[in-house]
A and B are shown apart, each in its own frame.
Chain A
């Protein structure tokens, strides 16, 4: 209980960091124009939209994301502008990265390699900002299970690391050895997606079972020092969740690897993939750590005792597990619905 205060101090800090990032994006509507962005003329809410009668999902021919498609939900405009900016940044990093990689392939000088690593790392950070199943699993997991800060960091690292390794193995095996075309490789990665989501569902089920049985009857906000405060199976469960979420390779990494092969610098592509993974790990880890801190903070503040704590915890655990199962199923259905890839 003594470590309650330091934890709580970090929460406002983390939240303000998020806030600052959002504010930065929010308060610079003019910058985009200065950079030659053609979207400057957009007037939020000003233009008469095509009308509420035509939500996107209503078109029967849109089946790409399967069952989640019909959702008509929108985040506040500043968040959307932030996300558009994130996409812009990704594009810039990606274009710079390919240019440098081409230069190495053509010129033979390896001097741009350091820049490539940096660009790939930044690309990874931004690439992982948007909604994604890895962050969903991480966030939900740590909302459900008590964990130490280091676990949040590790979860991000394992997810990103597995993703990178799977992408590398897939490209080496399929593109290099089997000589599969890139188009087909990307198309077939949907099967790995399906495997990943199936595993996520299974982990959700396992978590649900152990939550219902009360094997994880951990008290909110209690911390009994360094060792022995997590159940013996916790590590294994965490690891399986991370591996399950990570087994789906990132298309961005596959594209970078294919490009490096085309330029004759596969090694550089592999290095860049790992650099990207470090960036992804940081973003996902950040989310994991934030969730852990918040969970701890809420537990400390509410400080329920005895049976209330047990039942509250159990309810959260059951709901969280159900969320993982539900979202995993929707993602699986979505993956199965996608027969080909978009382009």
Chain B
């Protein structure tokens, strides 16, 4: 208590700042299953119909080695190195359908409003090399006209159990014989933070123009 008061108060101020920083760092950690445990590379394909509108979004997920190995162990039941139709069906009902609760990790915003995804179509699963691929489609109803509407699509797991990455080298594709000319931008989506604000997903913004 005896040493100079002014020295003390500077130090005190410094320490209080430090204390606040630690509070911030410690106050955050509240997640149940911390950190990503699964890594997926995703390719998103926007499919145009004859009216030059997007009526389907096809997704391709490429799983990491550890998780692929586990799924192969669990679902390649006859051990022939590939998923037979009956095994794909098992994978679908036992592992994939549950993703409905998580919007199939696909978040579509049309003019800033999120579309709930009711169903994923044409689910397929493949073993290529040591890795598993999922492929499925989301039917967009009503179809989106990206020339007139703002379209943002984020592929992410809100719990961050799975970390998604945009698969290099071409994470976003456009398909359909009759379509406007489109480009996309991938941005750090700060309006949809996940993992208690410690992570922002990467979201695709689609720009299209007739021409």
Residues of B within 8 A of A301 (CB): 8, 11-12, 15-16
> Does B193 contact A72, Cβ atoms closer than 8 Å?
yes
Known: A46-B187, A130-B195. A65 touches B31 (CB 8 A): yes
> Does A62 contact B103, Cβ atoms closer than 8 Å?
yes
B52-60, B81-89, B152-160, B174-182: which one contacts chain A? B152-160
Choose one: A37, A47, A334; the contact of B185 (CB below 8 Å).
A47
> Does B197 contact A75, Cβ atoms closer than 8 Å?
yes
> Does A94 contact B64, Cβ atoms closer than 8 Å?
yes
Residues of A within 8 A of B112 (CB): 49-51, 53-54
> Does B113 contact A54, Cβ atoms closer than 8 Å?
yes
Residues of A within 8 A of B99 (CB): 342-343
> Does B188 contact A77, Cβ atoms closer than 8 Å?
yes
Interface positions, chain A 34-76, Cβ under 8 Å from B, are 36-39, 41-56, 58-59, 61-65, 68-69, 71-75
The verdict on B143 contacting chain A, using a C-beta distance below 8 Å, is no
A183 to B200, CA, bound (A): 27
Interface of A: prevailing SS: helix
> Does A83 contact B22, Cβ atoms closer than 8 Å?
no
The verdict on A199 contacting chain B, using a C-beta distance below 8 Å, is no
Known: A73-B193, A87-B163, A256-B66. A130 touches B35 (CB 8 A): yes
Interface positions, chain B 154-211, Cβ under 8 Å from A, are 157-163, 165-169, 171, 185-200, 202-203, 205
> Does B159 contact A342, Cβ atoms closer than 8 Å?
yes
The verdict on A315 contacting chain B, using a C-beta distance below 8 Å, is no
Residues of A within 8 A of B191 (CB): 49-52, 54-55
Nearest opposing residue in chain A for B91, CB measure: A183
B150, chain A: closest CB distance, angstroms:
7
A133, chain B: closest CB distance, angstroms:
7
> Does A47 contact B205, Cβ atoms closer than 8 Å?
yes
A91 to B18, CA, bound (A): 32
> Does A91 contact B39, Cβ atoms closer than 8 Å?
yes
The verdict on A223 contacting chain B, using a C-beta distance below 8 Å, is no
> Does B66 contact A83, Cβ atoms closer than 8 Å?
no
Interface positions, chain B 1-48, Cβ under 8 Å from A, are 1, 8, 11-12, 14-16, 18-19, 21-23, 25-26, 28-39
Subset of 21 A-B contacts with CB under 8 Å: A39-B186, A39-B188, A41-B185, A44-B187, A49-B192, A51-B109, A55-B191, A62-B103, A75-B28, A80-B190, A80-B200, A90-B36, A95-B64, A127-B35, A131-B195, A131-B198, A132-B29, A136-B30, A251-B161, A256-B66, A262-B73
Q: Which residues of A contact B (CB under 8 A)?
A: 8, 11-12, 15, 36-39, 41-56, 58-59, 61-65, 68-69, 71-75, 77, 79-81, 83-84, 87, 90-91, 94-95, 98-99, 102, 127-136, 139-140, 143, 181-183, 186, 193, 197, 251-252, 255-256, 258-259, 262, 287, 290-291, 294, 297-298, 301-303, 305, 327, 330-331, 334-335, 338, 340-343
